[in-house]
Amino acid sequence: MSSLSESLIEKWFNQKGWKPFEWQRNVWSASLNGEFGLLNAPTGSGKTFALFLPVLMRWIDEHPKTYGELEQNGIQLLWVTPLRALARDLEKAMQTAVDELGLPWSVQRRTGDVSSSVKQKQKKQLPEVLIITPESLHVLLAQKGYDRRFKTLQSVVVDEWHELIGSKRGTQAELALSRLRGLNPDLQVWGISATIGNLDEALGMLLGPDRPEKSRIIKSGIKKRINVETVLPESVETFPWAGHLGINLIHKVLPILEHEGSTLIFTNTRAQSEIWFQQLLEQKPDLAGSIALHHGSLDHKIREWVEESLHDGTIKTVVCTSSLDLGVDFAPVDRVIQIGSPKGVSRFLQRAGRSGHQPDTLSSIWFVPTHALELIEAAALKEATERELVEDRIPVLKPFDVLIQYLVTLAVSDGFEPEETFREVTSTFAYQTLRRDEWEWIVQFIQSGGSSLSRYDEFNKAEPDEEGRLRVYDRKIARRHRMTIGTIAGDSMLRVKYLKGGTLGRIEEWFLSQLNPRDTFWFAGRNLELVKIKDMTAFVRKTKGTSSKVPSYMGGRMSLSSNMSDLLRKKLHETIDGSSTSIEMETIKPLFDVQRERSALPDDNELLIEKSWSKEGCHCFFFPFEGRYVHEGMSALVAHRISKLMPITFSIAMNDYGFELLSDKDIPIEEALEKDLFSDENLIRDIMASLNDTELAKRRFRGISRIAGLVFPGFPGNRKQGRHLQMSSGLFFDVFSEHEPDHLLLQQAYDEVLNDQLDEARLRRVLQRIAGQKIVLKEVDRFSPFAFPIYADRLRERLSSEKLADRILRMQKELKKD
C-alpha cells in the first residue's frame, strides 16, 4: 500500500475498527487496475465496500490536491440494484463513507419511491453516485439530453446480479449497459452475485459476448454456515393435505419469536403475509408494537419506517414477502422463518443469509410447511443446503417485447440511429443472436405498427428525422410511454388512502372493483372500510372487526426448481428403501401409509397414475414429481394425445408433484397407455399441437403486450384519461392471431412457452425417464394424499378435441339431468 488513497482508506478502516479482507483488497486492485468482472460474495460480507471504495480511491489519486474541494463533478458511479428497498440503506452507508473520507460528493438514489422534486433536481445535475433500479435507469434514458448527464460516468456496478439474471429486468439492465457503453466505450463494469450454478455465464451476461480481455471472477470464498430447522406438526394425521397458508402451525412459530433479537418471517405472497400478520397479533396481542408488515404493495413511507425500526431495534419481528429477500450489509437480523415452499434452493439460502451477517456467525432458518407433502420438501431443503445445490439462473434470450420498449424509450428522448443501435443491442448477451430480419421487423414495427397495408392507416409512433434518427414526436405518446416503462407485468393498481390523508399503499384494481362502499378488507395490517373510489384512489377509514376479506394478488405461480424436484424424488426413494434418517420423512410416514392403502407409494423406478370418479366426472392423476413447469407442458401433451383417441374435453390442474386430467367422460387411459402415451416419437409435432390447443401462450402474452406497449395501464390519478386506449391483452392476442399470425410478439409468446413449459429437450428427458419406469395404474375410490392437493386447485388449463357446439349441447344436457 502506497498511494494516497490507499493510506486514506487504511486509516478510515482503522478508525472504524475494521480490517479489509484479502478478497476485498483483491477487488480493489483489480478495479484500480482497470479490470472488469464479477464479485461472488454473499450479503453481509462487505461486498458493497469492495466495489464502492475503489471508485473513490481512483478519484482521490487522480485529484490528490483537490479531491476535498471538487464539488458537482457529474456522475461517476452508477450503482444498479434490483430492489428499491435496498437503495435507501446503500445511500446512507455510501454517503457516510464519502463524508468521512472528506469528499464533498453526493450520493443519491433514483427509484420509483423518490419524490418528484428530487427527480427534477437530478434532471439538472446528477450526483456523483446514483443508486438506481433497472426500470428507473430506463426512465432516465427516456429523458432528453441523457447523454450529457451521463457523459462523466466512469463505472457501473450491478448489485445482486443473480437476482436480475433470468428475468426481463436483467435484459433491461443489459440494454441500458449497452447504451452507456455506447456513450463511453471505456466504461468500467462490475457485477456482484451470490453463488449460483452458472457464474461464468453470469459474467458473460454482464459484459456481453465480446467481453473485455481484462475480466475475471473474484470469489470471496466465504462459506456461510446455515442451520435449518423444520417446524414439525405434532402429528401428520391432523395436518392438512392441501393449502398454502400454514396458519395451523402458528402455535409452534410463536415461541421462536420469543428468542432474543430480531426475526424475519418470509411468506410467498402478499395475501399470506397479511394473514400471518393478522393471525400472529390475534394469537398473541402483546406482539403489538414490536411486529410489523412489509410487502411490495405498501406505501414506500411505511416500508421505510419498517426497515428503519427493524434496524434500530424498535421492531423485533417483520412479516414480509420477497420485498425483503435481499439485504444490505448493514441490516442484519438474528433469525429467519420461511412459511411454505421457497421452491428453489438459492432463494432459500438467500433468505437464510439474511440472518447472522458476520462472516463467521451461523445463519438460522426455520422452515414451516403449509401442508403435509411439504415435509418432503423440508427434508430436501436440508440436504440441498448441506450440499449447496444452488440452481443455475437461466438467461432470458431475445425478448422482443423488452427490445421494442427500449427502442421507443430511446426514440422519445434523443432518438436513435438504427445501425448504431443495432450494433449496441447485438453486443449484449440477450440479443447476440438477434437476426437482421428480426431487427428490421422491429424497427419497422415501431414506425408502422406492424403489417398494415391499408391506405387509411395513420399509425403514429416513431419517425426518422432528417439525420435518419428515429424519434417519437407526439408528446402524448411519449408521456404514455414514460409511464409504462418497466417490465414487471401487473394489473393496474389503485392507491389506498385514508380519508384524512396518508397513503397506505396500492392494491390491484380488480380486487377493489369487487368491493362496495362500506365493505371491509384487511390491508397493510389494518382492518379498513372502503368509503369510495375516486381518481384511481380508494379512500378508506379504519374500522373494527375481524371478518374481512384479504386482497389476493394475481401473480405467476412459481415452479419447483429441477434441483429441488430431483431431491424430492430422492427423498421419496430413501423412505421406501428405508435408508432415510430424516425427522421430516419420519413425521410424514403415516401419510405415506394412507397413500399406500388408497393407491400406491411410487418408488423412483415407477410412475404412478391414479384413476378415480367423482360427481365432477373422471379424474386421472399422474405423479412424475418434476415441478410445476414441466407438469404444465406434460399435462398439455398427455391431454392432447388422449384427445386424439376420441372427442373429449379436459380441465387440467397441476402442482409440483403431479397433474390431473379431469373430464366429464370416461378417460381412455388404458387405451392411451397401450398406444404409447409417453413415447418421445413425434414429440415436436405433438408439442406444437398442444401449444395451440391450450391457452399457455395467451397467458404469456399478458406480460408481453404490456411490456411492448400494447396494453396501457392508465394514468395514475386519472382513471378516465387513457381509458379509450385500453384493451385487454387477451383480445389483442385474438385479433393478432386472426389478422397477423406472423407477428413477432405472438411468436415470442409461443417461444416463451416452448422455453419454459414445453421445452422439448426437457420433456424428452422426462419421457425417456418414464420409458425406463414401470407404469403403475391404480383405480382409486377415494382421492389419495398425493392427489388431493392437485384436485383442490381451482386454477385450471383447458384442452378440448370436441366441436364447440357439441360440447355446449352436452353441457346443456347434463345440466338438465341434474
Angle at 252 between CA 246 and CA 256, to 5 degrees: 110
- For residues 755 and 513, the answer to whether their CB atoms sit within 8 Å is no
Nearer to other proteins, 124 or 794 (CB): 794
Q: Which of 782, 462, 398, 795 shows the shortest CA–CA distance to 628?
A: 795
Nearer to other proteins, 65 or 816 (CB): 816
Q: Which spans of this chain sit near other proteins (rule: CB under 8 A)?
A: 445, 449-454, 456-461, 472, 474, 476-477, 480-481, 615-618, 649-651, 662-665, 709-710, 712, 724-725, 727-728, 731-732, 735-736, 738-740, 796, 798, 804-805, 807-812, 814-816
Give the Cα separation of 338 and 351 in Å (integer).
8
Nearer to other proteins, 233 or 709 (CB): 709
The DSSP output letter for 719 is S
Q: Residue 647 Cβ, how far from other proteins at the closest point, in Å?
A: 13
3-class SS at 38?
A: strand
Nearer to other proteins, 648 or 767 (CB): 648
At residue 259, what is the residue type? Answer: H
Q: Residue 615 Cβ, how far from other proteins at the closest point, in Å?
A: 8
Q: Residue 528 Cβ, how far from other proteins at the closest point, in Å?
A: 28
Q: Residue 803 Cβ, how far from other proteins at the closest point, in Å?
A: 8
Q: Residue 457 Cβ, how far from other proteins at the closest point, in Å?
A: 5
Nearer to other proteins, 678 or 712 (CB): 712
Nearer to other proteins, 529 or 693 (CB): 693
- For residues 58 and 98, the answer to whether their CB atoms sit within 8 Å is no
Q: Residue 663 Cβ, how far from other proteins at the closest point, in Å?
A: 5
User: What b-and-e string marks burial along 451-460, b requiring 16 or more CB atoms within 10 Å of the CB?
Assistant: eeeeeeeeee
Return all residues near 187 (Cβ < 8 A) that are at least 6 apart.
153, 154, 155, 156, 180, 181
Nearer to other proteins, 236 or 408 (CB): 408
Q: Residue 719 Cβ, how far from other proteins at the closest point, in Å?
A: 17
- For residues 319 and 277, the answer to whether their CB atoms sit within 8 Å is yes
Backbone φ, ψ for residue 672 (5° rounding)? -60, -40
Backbone φ, ψ for residue 610 (5° rounding)? -115, 135
Nearer to other proteins, 646 or 735 (CB): 735
Q: Residue 192 Cβ, how far from other proteins at the closest point, in Å?
A: 38
User: Which segments of 726-800 are extended strands (E)?
Assistant: 774-779, 797-800
- For residues 691 and 756, the answer to whether their CB atoms sit within 8 Å is no
Go through the chain and tell me how many residues it has.
818
Nearer to other proteins, 339 or 462 (CB): 462
- For residues 163 and 506, the answer to whether their CB atoms sit within 8 Å is no
DSSP 208-251: -SS--SSEEEEE-----EEEEEE---S-GGGS-SS-S--GGGHH
Q: Residue 736 Cβ, how far from other proteins at the closest point, in Å?
A: 6
Q: Residue 669 Cβ, how far from other proteins at the closest point, in Å?
A: 15
Angle at 378 between CA 372 and CA 381, to 5 degrees: 155
Nearer to other proteins, 394 or 727 (CB): 727
Backbone φ, ψ for residue 747 (5° rounding)? -55, -45
- β-pair type (537-542, 526-534): antiparallel
Half-sphere exposure of 366 (CA within 13 A, CB side): 21
Q: Residue 166 Cβ, how far from other proteins at the closest point, in Å?
A: 28
Q: Which of 334, 365, 360, 332 shows the shortest CA–CA distance to 347?
A: 365
192 bridge partner residues: 39
Q: Residue 788 Cβ, how far from other proteins at the closest point, in Å?
A: 16
Nearer to other proteins, 207 or 462 (CB): 462
Nearer to other proteins, 7 or 614 (CB): 614
